[in-house]
Structure 1
Amino acid sequence: MTDATAVPRRSSSASSPWQRFWERGGWWRAILVAAVYIALYIGASQLIGAVFRGQYDVTNPFGDPASVAITLLLPVVFGSVILLAFAASVRWLPELFGRQPGRGRGWMWIAPVIVVIAALLRVGATDWSAYSVSVILLTFLTGLFVGLSEELLTRGLAVNLLRKGGYSERWVMVLSSLIFALLHSTNLISGQPVGTVLFTMGFTFFFGVAMYLTLRATGSLVWPILLHAITDPTTFLATGGVDSGSGTGSPLLTFAGLSVYLYVIIAIVAVFLVKGHLDRTADDSALLR
């Protein structure tokens, strides 16, 4: 999956063995980061659940503010802090949150546009009277940290590690999206049916491609974070659940669901159109399409 024509990577200025280890990049380091993160995240979730046992409704996380905070918000806040600390330890925060290398092509803007339209349709389909103001606000705050943690991990750290490993952008897109999908296999631990988990993994892979294209189109990790941050809470509130809600039956929600098929089509197109390699020291005009 590596390519001898890869753009030469910048020489490492890492000052410690820890930094030099991660500067080498590679697919297995990306998976290692994801595996350690998810293990810590699950452990933190279990610990938080044990500490606050009896103070939340596990069957209805959106029933009251405490349930949202304990079951959803606190674990992703912890995950976000862990990932930011790791990025700081290897001195990658400037390159992760700074301008991304390469200029995305115009067709890539289709991905973020679909994400925004789908979110707006879910807003229109939501029965807002079913939730308290506190639950709504906490759910959107949770979405912000979900976007930060999952995008920082997959479109930030994983993409950076894959690029440092010399992979072409086609493989960077596919492998980072695959890592994103595999993260959601852990929903099995919470007791979700296998079919639901497999569907979620399929959706997250194709949504991951859309987020990669958003990263390329906008040139900033901030925008995938923000678009992800509106996707999850609008989905939770419109369907009344996490990956398993039934929704209000609104036609708008049906139309929003069509975005899944659009993500699949975009991903197939992207596999053929995304080419080349990216490097921060390379001239943008010489980079991929």
Structure 2
Amino acid sequence: MVQPVDDGPVTSRRGFFDRPTLGKAVLVIVVYLAYYLLVGRAIGAAFGDEVDEDDVLATGASIFFTLVLPIAIGAVTLLGFSAAIGRLRSIFARRTGSGRPWMWIGPALALIAVVGHAAAADWSDWRPEQLLLIALLGVCVGLAEELATRGLAVDLLRGAGHSERFVMVVSSLLFALMHLTNVLSGMKVNTVLVTVVYTFGFGVCMYLVMRLTGTIWSAIALHAVTDPTTILSSGGIDAGVTHHTGGWSLLTSTATILMVVFGFVAVFLVRGDRRGQTDSAGLSGGGGAAFRR
């Protein structure tokens, strides 16, 4: 017996992330953080003998297993996940950048801080393998953290139709809150809170450089040189540099403080208009209209 054929329209089942929401953007970050921490614990259990617990930067093996390998696995996993849900092309698509000249202030201050850190660093204190691995760490951190926040989170928030200001603030806030996990590594609570404030301002600047250039690669590149130069200048992970003396250190501290202040001020300068509108600051609204392909 021949079954009747339904000639009506055929619709395919939509994936979970094909309906973007704020909650799904938060979920991506939370799951990624849990995964990253679990990977770090697993690597620590397997290669703990290679780690110098007093100074993770002391040897190449310690740097690799404690810092580089977990974030490298996280970056590769995020790339695979982005491809699996069909958002990799959208995240890395080249778009026409737009914005106002004032927006360059934040990225410029971030770059000045990088130059200051590099100039203030005592390069003779570091062996070649340490420098190479710290540079690799920067690349992995830049790729993973930008892909998670300025990539997946921004793409989902824009897809949900949120305003430009909302997307910038929430993605930067998610980036900042990711660093609360530093408490688990033994960092003092007050230091963690300062780090959260700093990373929010830094996140806004990374959002703006992506916004201005039309590509996430610019944010990845600037982020990738920020962490290594900071480590080299301070001599440790998450160590402060504001107590250092000298012209370059003073320049770096000043640029960093101004960058954070700028990040918070930018929240009020960027308008909150919806998709299809253009505000007086020259920004399109949320959703896909903010970047023109």
State the TM bucket, normalised to the shorter chain. 0.7 to 0.9
1:141 match: 136
Deviation >6 Å, runs of 4+: none
Residue deviations 1:196-243, cap 9 Å, x none? 111111100110001011111111000000000000000011101111
Contact 2:159–2:288 (8 Å) recurs in 1: no
Structure 2 vs 1, CA of residues 242 and 283 (structure 1 numbering), >3 Å: closer, same or farther?
closer
1:267 match: 263
Structure 2 vs 1, CA of residues 100 and 269 (structure 1 numbering), >3 Å: closer, same or farther?
farther
Q: Does 1:80 align with 2:88?
A: no
Return the offset for 1:140: 0.7
The farther-off stretch of 35-44 and 94-103 is: 94-103
1:280 match: 288
Match of 2:51 among 56, 60, 73: 56
Residue deviations 1:116-139, cap 9 Å, x none? 111011111001111101100110
Structure 2 vs 1, CA of residues 283 and 254 (structure 1 numbering), >3 Å: closer, same or farther?
closer
Return the offset for 1:281: 5.6
Q: Which residues of 2 match residues 150-161 of structure 1 at below 5 A?
A: 150-161=145-156
Match of 1:254 among 250, 256, 268: 250
Q: Which has the higher contact order (CA 8 A, sep 6+)?
A: 1
Structure 2 vs 1, CA of residues 23 and 259 (structure 1 numbering), >3 Å: closer, same or farther?
farther
Partner SS for 2:81: helix
Match of 2:28 among 30, 33, 50: 33
Structure 2 vs 1, CA of residues 160 and 89 (structure 1 numbering), >3 Å: closer, same or farther?
same
Residue deviations 1:92-117, cap 9 Å, x none? 11110112466222221222211111
2:98 match: 103
Contact 2:201–2:264 (8 Å) recurs in 1: no
Structure 2 vs 1, CA of residues 180 and 198 (structure 1 numbering), >3 Å: closer, same or farther?
same
Q: Distance in 2 between matches of 1:189 and 1:220?
A: 33
Match of 2:122 among 118, 127, 130: 127
Residue deviations 1:24-43, cap 9 Å, x none? 21211111000000000000
Structure 1 length normalisation: TM-score?
A: 0.88
Q: Distance in 2 between matches of 1:110 and 1:253?
A: 20
Return the offset for 1:23: 2.4
Return the offset for 1:260: 2.8
Structure 2 vs 1, CA of residues 127 and 17 (structure 1 numbering), >3 Å: closer, same or farther?
same
Q: Distance in 2 between matches of 1:245 and 1:271?
A: 26
Counterpart residue type for residue 288 of structure 2: R
Q: Does 1:211 align with 2:206?
A: yes
1:173 match: 168
Structure 2 vs 1, CA of residues 55 and 282 (structure 1 numbering), >3 Å: closer, same or farther?
closer
The farther-off stretch of 21-30 and 171-180 is: 21-30
Q: Distance in 2 between matches of 1:260 and 1:248?
A: 14
Q: Distance in 2 between matches of 1:30 and 1:282?
A: 18
Q: Distance in 1 between matches of 2:92 and 2:210?
A: 11
Gaps of 5+ in 2: 1-10, 274-284
Partner SS for 1:280: helix
Q: Distance in 1 between matches of 2:291 and 2:174?
A: 29
Residue deviations 1:79-101, cap 9 Å, x none? 10111011001111111011246
Q: Does 1:236 align with 2:231?
A: yes
Aligned residues: 270
Match of 1:90 among 85, 92, 107: 85
Structure 2 vs 1, CA of residues 265 and 53 (structure 1 numbering), >3 Å: closer, same or farther?
closer
Q: Distance in 1 between matches of 2:145 and 2:255?
A: 20
Partner SS for 2:57: coil
Identity %: 45
Q: Distance in 2 between matches of 1:23 and 1:142?
A: 32
| Alignment RMSD (CA, Å) | 2.0
